[in-house]
A and B are shown apart, each in its own frame.
Chain A
């Protein structure tokens, strides 16, 4: 896995007169899980949209290593995204969904990778022609993870991925996140759930009213109490 850092440099985003992000600068390291937390409307999802290249910043730039990636089609090859919606086609089976994305990413060893991914997310034994529409929420989220990992991205972005999962599904997802971190991927998780953030994060970013209110790295990880206290402190401070 590459050792490139993802650097957000003085990013601002406005919608008309409303400023969603103001002068945001953060650096994300590979082999680390960053949890971005903050109250509703703080600008977390806007930041994730810009990081994923789906939205353009009004000013500022995002760099992967030394390379600016804002709106770069080539950079999209380096990004995997899992949101609260699975981002797959409900009329197609898991295998057919992954085959479509394997073609879009022009994967050379598509069939081998698809099989490996289906086995990894425990969907290999599901009836081959069963459309994703018939899957449970947990199965859909596992398929979403397989889709996001299929092309071997350097950066993994998660937007409230466990919001509709049961505790077992949420725990499974946290373990997968850590597994990806250990594989050297740069993992960014946007969440409201401070306990979930504490389970996986070694880097905590609190966003408040579009600004970075706290940016703290703790290589040994955070406890739930630490995350809660840092979060409350960051929201109280300014």
Chain B
């Protein structure tokens, strides 16, 4: 990777974040839907949850809400390029197509992580989960899980850029592919939320698993993004 690649990646990520900073529509939509999902689950599961299952439920709710809101972010970040056909201007610029992918991936991950911070606090409060007991590990799991989800999502979202029913198709195509990431992330998160089992060995295993999956997904994304977005 050359210095140029990183320069263009940073430019594209900053551009997307600046646009979001002006409109804030993705952050507000994601934040609102995420809070709603956590609230609904917390009311529905309040009396039904066995205390021993609490960490597993809390982790499941956190990642279900992430999946839901992440799809909103993915659809919108790429949808902005479709409006006014600005994707064409971007593709015609000297920016390598791989850095367009990397820039979009970084911007989507940053937006998702911003909402996940709110989600984590909500889950901590409403499910009495120990979100602050291993904060460093939790941050690592959130970052790796989000990267794994977004790395595939950006490719599918770009592929569906000109499709009429892209919102419906995005979930249907993306969710089966990201199942390994979500399972690993929620298992690791459940271990971290469990105050009775401070054993970090399974967490380290799932973190290594997430890291390997992310490397594979990102490498594939960098490779296939150009033909996918050009529609060749």
| A interface residues, Cβ below 8 angstroms from B | 52-56, 73-74, 76-77, 79, 81, 83, 85-92, 96, 100-101, 103-106, 131-132, 140, 147
Contact = CB atoms under 8 A, between A and B. Distances in A.
Contacts of A131: 22
B94 A87 contact: no
Given A54-B230, A131-B22, 8 more contacts: A53-B92, A54-B91, A55-B232, A83-B85, A89-B84, A92-B22, A104-B11, A147-B89
Given A91-B19, A91-B22, A104-B8, A81 B92 contact: yes
A76 B96 CA distance: 10
B92 A91 contact: no
A140 B23 CA distance: 19
B208 interface: no
Contacts of A87: 84-86, 88-89
Residue of B83, B85, B94 ringed by the most chain A CB atoms within 10 A: B94
* Overall SS of chain B's interface: helix
Contacts of A105: 93-94
Nearest to A87: B89
Contacts of A100: 11, 15
B82 to A, nearest CB: 10
Contacts of A54: 88, 91-92, 230
A104 B100 CA distance: 11
B80 interface: yes
Nearest to A84: B85
A117 B74 CA distance: 33
Contacts of B84: 85-90, 132, 140
Interface in B69-99: 80, 83-86, 88-96
Interface of B: 8, 11, 15, 18-19, 22-23, 80, 83-86, 88-96, 230, 232
Given A54-B88, A104-B11, A89 B19 contact: yes
* Overall SS of chain A's interface: loop
B230 A101 contact: no
A76 B86 CA distance: 15
19 contacts: A54-B91, A54-B230, A74-B94, A76-B94, A77-B94, A81-B92, A86-B84, A86-B85, A87-B85, A88-B84, A89-B15, A89-B19, A90-B84, A100-B11, A101-B93, A103-B11, A104-B8, A104-B93, A104-B95
A87 B84 CA distance: 5
Contacts, number: 69
A211 B49 CA distance: 70
A56 B89 contact: no
A79 B23 CA distance: 31
A73 B230 CA distance: 14
B80 A89 contact: yes
A127 to B, nearest CB: 15
B232 A79 contact: no
A92 B86 CA distance: 12
B232 A81 contact: no
B11 to A, nearest CB: 5
Given A85-B84, A87-B84, A52 B232 contact: no
B93 A76 contact: yes
Contacts of B96: 73
Contacts of A89: 15, 19, 80, 83-84, 86
Nearest to B97: A73
A92 B18 CA distance: 9
B80 A101 contact: no
Nearest to A56: B232
Nearest to A52: B92
